[in-house]
């Protein structure tokens, strides 16, 4: 099995972003793909796009699954970043419930400081502001940070790392609660980032981070969550190792249903013994080790499962089009662009997609150049099938778009394999 996953590149130049070990073993090769949030504007439709290798590797020393870095963060998270968190009702509710949980569990009040890394458009910090708790958002994308400031969320426009943490701590003080949702995967310099969190955390403070769980990705075939904006993919054993190396003890962990299955980790300074390590930490480490997540065999069959999912989706689309059916998409998420580019799905299979975000409407998806419209377009054209690209929001979307059923239309989910919803 190991020889099947061995890296073909003989240069040996790629190093693990945590432990600097040579990356030798591939997990899955998804070919060439553009940056997933670089939506193509109409005036750019005839311009060449940049495509980069989308090949995930696993480090056989620390077991971090990762991509090589081809595009720098300032190219990915530019002044015109396409993702705004506030356009998902269920995600806003997730953020609101998180706020209540943190206030109750850790006694947050007006004397405390909550700092969010990659705070996007203020989707989460707004709930703390409503409770009278001081906040600071750190968001590198200019247009998204501006949206947060318009909501009254104090936001600094910069990338987070050790130097930034030192600057912010001097200006605002250290964080009693330091959080980041779906940002840890987006960091190419992982060690500098975690060192920065250590620097930014107040004595007695708490870190929480949320990110998709690698176990769910592998076992539920969620290959479309692999894209260039996600540099790393974390098991709990790997992330625990990273944080411990930088003097942060993970004292609790929760499994969440968000994004197809995520972890929320809780960290503290290692010398802060006021927060004992919960049983859930040892239990999850034991479970992952028993599953073999620190063995190459665990990852060896993933690529063939991915190929089979591609074949099944294309077979469905080919049959639908041959039968004269119309197919459109719902959503323009990063995962959708991985799926469509890897499978070679363009307007020959999918007429268009729709998205609630006005920042995406009127543009084209990267690589495939599928046009993006407002959701009302579906009611106008009455398609036979609606392919839900953000499948993790299938319940929310199918409820919002229930009128599709009125004309006999059906929803389709592509992951873990193609499924027509009844």
pLDDT digits (tens, 9 = 90+) for 232-258: 999 999 999 999 999 999 999 999 988
pLDDT score recorded for residue 2:
33
Domains 85-299 and 302-420 share a fold: yes
pLDDT score recorded for residue 77:
57
Q: Is 220 helix (H, G, I), strand (E, B) or coil?
A: coil
Q: What is the CB neighbour count within 10 angstroms for residue 37?
A: 22
What homologous superfamily is domain 85-299 in, according to CATH? Vaccinia Virus protein VP39 (3.40.50.150)
Report how far residue 245's alpha carbon sits from residue 261's, in angstroms, rounded to the nearest whole number.
Answer: 26
Q: Is 130 helix (H, G, I), strand (E, B) or coil?
A: helix
CB-count burial class (<10 Å; 0-12, 13-18, 19+) for 93: exposed
pLDDT score recorded for residue 10:
36
pLDDT tens digit string along 325-354?
999 999 999 899 999 999 999 999 999 999
pLDDT score recorded for residue 398:
95
Question: Which residues are paired to 269 by β-bridges?
Answer: 248
223 phi, psi to nearest 5 deg: -65, -25
Ramachandran assignment for 118, one of left (phi > 0), alpha (psi -120 to 50 degrees), beta (any other): left
Residues 221-233, buried b or exposed e (16+ Cβ, 10 A)? bbbbbbbbbbbbb
pLDDT score recorded for residue 7:
47
pLDDT score recorded for residue 8:
44
CB–CB of 154/137 below 8 Å?
yes
CA neighbor of 31 nearest in space, from 54, 51, 50: 54
Report how far residue 8's alpha carbon sits from residue 83's, in angstroms, rounded to the nearest whole number.
Answer: 34
Report how far residue 143's alpha carbon sits from residue 121's, in angstroms, rounded to the nearest whole number.
Answer: 9
pLDDT score recorded for residue 414:
96
Report how far residue 196's alpha carbon sits from residue 192's, in angstroms, rounded to the nearest whole number.
Answer: 6
**Which residue is listed with tokens 């004292």?**
251
CB–CB of 369/346 below 8 Å?
yes
- The pTM score is 0.90
pLDDT score recorded for residue 85:
54
What is the topology classification, in CATH, of domain 302-420? Rossmann fold (3.40.50)
CB–CB of 419/413 below 8 Å?
yes
Counting as low any pLDDT under 50, the low residues of the chain are 1-12
pLDDT tens digit string along 155-167?
999 999 999 999 9
Residue ranges of domains in the chain: 2-69, 85-299, 302-420
pLDDT score recorded for residue 90:
80
pLDDT score recorded for residue 89:
78
């Amino acid at each position: 099995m190991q020889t099947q996953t061995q890296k073909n590149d003989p240069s040996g130049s790629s190093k693990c972003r945590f432990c600097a070990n040579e990356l030798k073993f591939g997990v899955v090769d998804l070919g060439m793909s553009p940056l997933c949030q670089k939506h193509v504007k109409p005036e750019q439709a005839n311009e060449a796009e940049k495509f980069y290798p989308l090949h995930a590797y696993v480090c056989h020393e620390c077991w971090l699954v990762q991509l090589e870095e081809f595009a720098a963060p300032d190219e990915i998270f530019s002044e015109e970043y396409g993702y705004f968190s506030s356009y998902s009702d269920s995600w806003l509710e997730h953020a609101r419930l998180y706020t209540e949980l943190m206030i109750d569990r850790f006694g947050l009040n007006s004397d405390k400081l909550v700092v969010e890394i990659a705070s996007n458009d203020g989707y989460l910090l707004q709930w703390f502001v409503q409770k009278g708790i001081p906040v600071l958002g750190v968001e590198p994308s200019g247009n998204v940070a501006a949206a947060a400031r318009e909501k009254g969320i104090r936001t600094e426009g910069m990338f987070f790392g050790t130097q930034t943490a030192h600057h912010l701590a001097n200006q605002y003080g250290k964080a009693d609660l330091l959080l980041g949702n779906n940002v840890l995967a987006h960091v190419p310099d992982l060690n500098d980032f975690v060192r920065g969190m250590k620097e930014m955390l107040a004595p007695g403070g708490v870190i929480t981070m949320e990110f998709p769980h690698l176990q769910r990705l592998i076992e539920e075939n969620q290959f479309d969550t692999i894209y260039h904006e996600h540099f790393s993919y974390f098991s709990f054993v790997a992330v625990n190792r990273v944080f411990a190396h930088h003097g942060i003890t993970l004292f609790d962990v929760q499994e969440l249903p968000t994004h197809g299955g995520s972890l929320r980790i809780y960290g503290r300074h290692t010398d802060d013994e006021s927060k004992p390590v919960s049983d859930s930490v040892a239990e999850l480490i034991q479970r992952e080790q028993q599953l073999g997540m620190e063995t190459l065999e665990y990852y060896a069959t993933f690529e063939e499962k991915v190929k089979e999912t591609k074949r099944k989706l294309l077979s469905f689309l080919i049959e639908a089009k041959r039968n004269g059916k119309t197919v459109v998409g719902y959503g323009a998420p990063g995962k959708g662009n991985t799926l469509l580019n890897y499978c070679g799905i363009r307007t020959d299979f999918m007429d268009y997609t729709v998205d609630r975000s006005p920042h995406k409407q009127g543009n084209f998806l990267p690589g495939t150049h599928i046009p993006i419209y407002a959701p009302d377009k579906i009611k106008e054209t009455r398609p036979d099938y609606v392919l839900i690209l953000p499948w993790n929001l299938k319940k929310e979307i199918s409820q919002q778009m229930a009128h599709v059923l009125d004309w006999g239309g059906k929803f389709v989910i592509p992951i873990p394999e193609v499924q027509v919803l009844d």
